[in-house]
């Protein structure tokens, strides 16, 4: 028996960055908003405070803030000929499952993706003709441009308290910033974080090699900050517990200390935690959605929440899964190339070198998400010619530390025994004296990479799991070769005592080691219902009162982290709903 509740103006599924932004904005616009979040409520004072938060067993090994794979997971395989098996333990990616979502335990790097991403097919064809993009690479323009998103990027950066240095202010290149960024109207709200020694050494070497290092923009507040909504940030303590942890200093811009409390202070907003949404409901003529069903995971009760507008903000993979479970679109079939839902799923590549400098003291226990310098010379610009390499996309390369956790970060040179006395001696010797240079690389859509429903495995509520079919293709192998060569050349120019060099990817993708939670695609945005699931307002083609907000909308993956454009798009969608949709409900035409 499903208990039917009173209709809300808006129901939001999932309360991370995207859900939080929509919740705050729509409640402020006078709409009555209900958010349904599968995870529970945590707080900085109780859960993310010292000493509890510095618990590697709880947060790194036991994934305390993340999706519980005993209840919900997905099946994974590298190609359609294989049988997909359930991911029973999180590995490559770590989706969040608390109020605040992954935005609680993210690192905080914030990028502005530019028109070379949003207009990727047009730009590459213009530069290289039609031959560089292979037939099995269905990349496409996004249907939106940088200029439209620019004010919304700024809003997100000011909300999240991003520290950084502008590289292109109103068309003027700024010394010390990223000379390849698109022009911005304002600088970041906060100056860059203090660089660590390893980053300074990387920056010098990159500069000597002719590149353009700059401080990585990051939502780690370099000084105390109050954002435009009045949320108060402490200054970053450089403790290094950013990725996988909530911030004890409230210095990491996160939805649970910015947009969500603002929404919660608004009487128009109601949050229900432990609410697992199972389906989006459609009306009988199939042109509108009417609400969602959900299960209260604390007592098993099933409920229906009717709503005039449904916003899916449950993370890219979960948004696609919910659309498939609800019959909202035809699921992609790689054999026939029919169906749009599930298409263009992309992950990211990464590789890196570890450098050992005998006698150096890097103090790796002091770090922050944004205290590493980075170079953007090989990504969204044409200064780097892809022609000789024969690939589409690019990489960013940074130097410093990837993670500095005192138990799990134990770098030792190649050839060191993996246990026993010799390992102990080596780990004591090198802990202070090692640093890394890493690259992150883009992934282009491929016809054989996609999401659909698993025919065999089910979640704790008896629903088919999402099935992921993904592998790196020739494009990514070439790209990772080029990135590894640059990483190794910079690393060797620094004359380390020993080096574990970066190696190009040749093996099938493996979902076990941690890589990044930058899953994108599956319900993509585009210019028309023939090539996409959503329009540029992230409104579903064919269901005008359904908005699907997440990186599922990205038709390909850049090397950049996704949350900059994700936050910008969430504000863009919120504005479209507030200023246009609620006045005249229907399909939003470009305007
Ligand atoms: C370790 C880590 C480091 C990262 N670092 C960076 C970084 O430096 N820079 C960057 O740009 N990005 C980074 N990311 C990615 C970033 O966190 C995400 O892009 C962003 O938080 C996604 O926001 P979202 O609102 O789409 O989803 P989420 O934040 O994942 O929120 C979705 C919410 O929906 C809930 N939910 C899911 N399914 C249901 C359901 N059926 N019913 C009800 N609720 C549901 C979940 O519990 C969750 O709380 C990182 C991610 C991780 C995990």
pLDDT surpassing 90 at residue 368: no
Question: Is 142 in contact with 554 (CB distance < 8 Å)?
Answer: yes
Instruction: Please tell me the distance from the alpha carbon of residue 35 to that of residue 262, in angstroms, as a whole number.
Output: 14
Cβ(11) – ligand 1 distance below 6 Å? no
pLDDT of residue 406: 82
- Residue 535, SS3? coil
Using DSSP, state whether 491 is helix, strand or coil. Answer: helix
- Using the predicted structure, report yes or no on whether residue 16 has a pLDDT greater than 80: yes
Q: How many residues does the chain have?
A: 591
| Global pTM value | 0.98
Per-residue pLDDT, averaged over 14-22, amounts to: 98
- Over 90: is that where the pLDDT of 258 sits? yes
In the chain, the percentage of residues whose pLDDT exceeds 70 is: 99
What confidence category does residue 403 fall into, taking pLDDT thresholds of 50, 70 and 90? Answer: low
Beta strands, E only, 341-463: 349-356, 373-378, 395-400, 434-441, 450-458
pLDDT tens profile 68-85: 999 999 999 999 999 999
Nearest-atom index, ligand 1, CA of 514 = 1
pLDDT band at 286 (very low <50, low <70, confident <90, very high): confident
pLDDT score for 367? 87
Cα angle, residue 142 at apex, residues 13 and 579 outer, rounded to 5° = 55
Sign of CA dihedral 442, 150, 344, 561: positive
Choice from 12, 15, 16 to test ligand 1 binding pocket (greatest atom count within 8 A of CB) = 16
344-360 pLDDT, tens per residue? Answer: 999 999 999 999 999 99
Average pLDDT over residues 45-57: 89
Give the tokens for residue 428: 């004591």
Secondary structure, 3-state, 27-61 = HHCCCCEEEECCCECCCCCCCCCCCCCCCHHHHHH
Q: How far is CA 418 from the centre of its chain?
A: 33
Which residue has a Cα nearest atom 38 of ligand 1? 314
Q: What are the start-end ranges of the H helices in 165-298?
A: 197-208, 259-264
244 within ligand 1 shell (Cβ under 6 A): yes
17 CB less than 6 Å from ligand 1? yes
CA-angle at 210, arms to 560 and 476, nearest 5°: 35
> Average pLDDT in the 95-122 region?
97
Among 93-97, 216-220, 226-230, 240-244, the range scoring the smallest mean pLDDT is: 240-244
Which tokens hold the place of 34?
A: 């209900």
- Going by pLDDT thresholds of 50, 70 and 90, the confidence category of residue 393 is very high
Parallel, antiparallel or unpaired: strands 543-548 and 302-312? parallel
Cα-to-centroid distance, 498 and ligand 1 (Å): 37
Measured in Å, residue 561 CA sits from the centre of ligand 1 at: 12
Query: What is the pLDDT at residue 154?
Result: 98
318 lines ligand 1 (CB under 6 A): yes
Ligand 1 atom nearest the C-alpha of 218 is 8
Our answer on whether the CB atom of 292 is closer than 6 Å to any ligand 1 atom is: no
What is the distance between the alpha carbons of residues 242 and 203, in angstroms, rounded to a whole number?
22
The pLDDT value given to residue 402: 63
**What is the DSSP secondary structure assignment for residue 290, as one 8-state letter?**
E
- Using CA of residue 102, residue 104, residue 105, residue 109, what is the dihedral sign? positive
Q: What is the pLDDT of residues 114-172, one digit of tens each?
A: 999 999 999 999 999 999 999 999 999 999 999 999 999 999 999 999 999 999 999 99
User: Is the confidence at residue 44, as pLDDT, over 90?
Assistant: no
Tell me the catalytic residues: 518
**Can you list the pairs that 381-384 forms with residues at least 24 positions away whose Cβ atoms lie under 8 Å?**
381/116, 381/180, 382/127, 383/180
User: Is the shortest distance between the CB of 39 and ligand 1 below 6 Å?
Assistant: yes
447 three-state secondary structure: coil
Full strand arrangement of the beta sheet holding 450-458: 85-86, 74-77, 464-469, 450-458
Ligand 1 closest atom vs CA 294: 42
What's the 139 CA to ligand 1 centre distance in angstroms?
A: 24
Q: Kindly give the number of the ligand 1 atom that is closest to the alpha carbon of 111.
A: 11
pLDDT, tens digit, 9 for 90 and up, residues 417-448? 999 999 999 999 999 999 999 999 999 999 99
Taking only the tens place, the pLDDT of each residue in 461-520 is 999 999 999 999 999 999 999 999 999 999 999 999 999 999 998 889 999 999 999 999
């Amino acid at each position: 028996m499903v208990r039917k509740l009173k209709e809300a103006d808006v129901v939001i599924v999932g309360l991370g960055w995207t859900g939080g932004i929509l919740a705050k904005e729509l409640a402020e616009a006078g709409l009555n908003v209900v958010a349904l979040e599968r995870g529970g409520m945590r707080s900085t004072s109780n859960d993310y405070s010292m000493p509890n938060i510095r618990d590697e067993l709880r947060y790194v090994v036991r994934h305390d803030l993340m999706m519980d794979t005993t209840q919900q997971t997905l099946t994974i395989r590298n190609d359609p000929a294989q049988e997909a098996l359930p991911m029973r333990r999180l590995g490559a990616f770590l989706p969040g499952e608390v109020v605040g979502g992954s935005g609680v335990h993210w690192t905080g790097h914030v990028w502005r993706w530019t028109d070379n991403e949003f207009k990727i097919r047009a730009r590459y064809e213009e530069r290289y003709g039609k031959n560089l993009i292979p037939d099995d690479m269905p990349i496409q323009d996004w249907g939106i441009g940088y200029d439209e998103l620019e004010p919304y990027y700024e809003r997100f950066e000011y909300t999240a308290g991003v520290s950084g240095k502008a590289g292109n202010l109103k068309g003027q290149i700024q010394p010390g910033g990223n000379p390849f960024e698109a022009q911005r109207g304002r600088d970041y709200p906060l100056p860059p974080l203090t660089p660590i020694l390893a980053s300074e050494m990387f920056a010098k070497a990159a500069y000597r090699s002719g590149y353009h290092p700059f401080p990585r923009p990051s939502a780690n507040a370099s000084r105390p900050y109050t954002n435009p909504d009045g949320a108060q940030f402490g200054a970053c303590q450089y403790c290094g517990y950013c990725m996988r942890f909530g911030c004890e200093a409230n210095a990491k811009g996160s939805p649970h200390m910015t947009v969500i409390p603002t929404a919660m202070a608004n009487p128009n907003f109601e949050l229900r935690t432990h609410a697992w949404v199972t389906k989006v409901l459609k009306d009988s003529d199939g042109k509108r959605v009417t609400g969602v069903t959900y299960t209260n995971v604390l007592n098993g009760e099933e409920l229906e929440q009717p709503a005039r507008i449904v916003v899916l903000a449950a993370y890219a993979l979960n948004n696609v899964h919910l659309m498939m479970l609800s019959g909202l679109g035809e699921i992609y079939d790689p054999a026939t190339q029919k169906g749009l839902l599930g298409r263009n799923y992309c992950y990211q590549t990464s590789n890196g070198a570890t450098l050992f400098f005998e006698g150096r003291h890097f103090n790796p226990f002091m770090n922050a998400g944004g205290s590493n310098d980075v170079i953007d010379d090989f990504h969204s610009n044409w200064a780097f010619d892809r022609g000789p390499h024969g690939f589409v996309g690019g990489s960013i390369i940074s130097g410093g530390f990837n993670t500095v956790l005192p138990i799990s970060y134990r770098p030792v040179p190649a050839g060191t025994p993996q246990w026993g006395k010799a390992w102990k001696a080596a780990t004591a010797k090198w802990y202070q004296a090692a640093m890394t240079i890493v690259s992150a690389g883009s992934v282009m859509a491929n016809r054989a990479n996609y999401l659909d429903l698993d025919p065999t495995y089910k979640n704790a509520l008896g629903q088919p799991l999402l099935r992921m079919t993904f592998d790196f293709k020739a494009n990514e192998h070439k790209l990772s070769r080029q990135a590894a060569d640059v990483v190794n050349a910079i690393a060797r120019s620094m004359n380390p005592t020993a080096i574990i060099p970066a190696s190009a990817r040749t093996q099938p993708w493996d979902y076990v080691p941690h890589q990044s939670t930058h899953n994108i695609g599956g319900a993509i945005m585009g210019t028309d219902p023939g090539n996409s699931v959503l329009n540029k307002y992230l409104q579903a083609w064919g269901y005008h009162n359904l908005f699907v907000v997440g990186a599922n909308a990205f038709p390909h993956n850049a090397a950049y982290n996704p949350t900059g454009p994700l936050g910008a798009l969430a504000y863009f969608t919120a504005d479209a709903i507030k200023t246009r949709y609620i006045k005249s409900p229907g399909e939003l035409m470009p305007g």
